[in-house]
Amino acid sequence: MFNITRRTLLGSAAAAAAFGLPRQLEFVMPASAEPPVEPLTGHYKYKVGSVEVTAIYDGIWRKPHDPAFIKNASVEDTKAALAKAGLTTEFMPIPLTVVVLKVGDRLIMMDAGSGVGQWQANATHLPANMKAAGIDYTKIDTLMISHFHPDHVWGLMDKETNAPVFPNAELIVNATEYNWWTDPGRVDKLAEGRKAAGRRIASIFPTWKNWKLVEDGADVAPGIQMIAAPGHTPGHSVFLVTSGTEQLLVSADTMYVPALLAPHPEWQGSYDQDGPTAITTRHKLIDRVIADNIRICGSHFPFPGSGTFVKDGNAYAFTPTAQV
């Protein structure tokens, strides 16, 4: 398991208790130790039991600060949280990491990435970093799709033609997510800023025959269970990987920017379609990770996209895995 180090950047009641102190500690890095915005290497391998996990860097959204980004927090609040976590405050850093699992002879990709610049102009690194990691995308057997936001599924489609990039792979998704986005009339009900994405999904995805729609709790591959994690989207899901005595929760966007949501799990992101449900889901899953000593990775955690959480009163402290 990963250890708490000087990179533990958020207040920790657990650490205070460990040292016998009367109040929670705050671990603060010197400004000179601020991690780079983009990683020095684009892939990172580790094992969960016999499963080989490869974290692959796709890119980062240097999102301009926006008072609407967190519904119940100000830009000043979010900048303060970033600073406390030792991250840049010049913009909101939202990296994207895609995970590929090697389970026996099978290659299983967890979400498809953002599609070589289709999401953000500088999120183009996935193909090159997959190749550098020794992964041939044409050999991907299965894709587990957490939800249908562009940064997770645009990589399924060619930018110009919308042709499927993985025409022979099995595409597994929560039936609730698929049915919600492809429901007739859904596009008309979406907020204006989401209509274009909704229209693309509704017109393209139903024409593909390699979808497998599953329900909460389904065993979707040997040692992999899909768990419904609604709120971010209606059918947002996570995947629990078990091998021997070890487990990994591929948590997608449950705790999408830990620097903000670990110390403030009650904050509601503008991309959460149901904020209160997202908060409930967040607590439920992170509490389980802590109680059961489960490793966790997330799509927008600092690369290599994994880390550890500990309880900090009603909130959490997050330690990212060191960049390599």
Percent of the chain's residues with pLDDT above 90: 84
Q: Where are the alpha helices (DSSP H) in 41-168?
A: 75-84, 126-132, 150-153
**Calpha distance 176→181 (Å, rounded):** 9
Mean pLDDT of the chain: 89
**Calpha distance 315→11 (Å, rounded):** 9
316 token code pair? 């959490």
Using DSSP's 3-state secondary structure scheme, residue 285 falls into helix
Q: Tell me what the mean pLDDT of segment 282-286 comes to.
A: 97
Q: What one-character DSSP code corresponds to residue 320? A: E
- pLDDT, position 208: 97
Q: Is the pLDDT of residue 183 over 50?
A: yes
Q: What is the pTM of this model?
A: 0.88
**Calpha distance 86→69 (Å, rounded):** 20
Q: Is the pLDDT of residue 33 over 80?
A: no
Q: Tell me what the mean pLDDT of segment 185-208 comes to.
A: 95
Domains of the chain: 13-30+40-320 (3.60.15.10)
- pLDDT, position 34: 53
- pLDDT, position 5: 35
Q: Tell me what the mean pLDDT of segment 50-71 comes to.
A: 96
- pLDDT, position 19: 33
Cβ atoms of 290 and 282 within 8 Å: the answer is: no
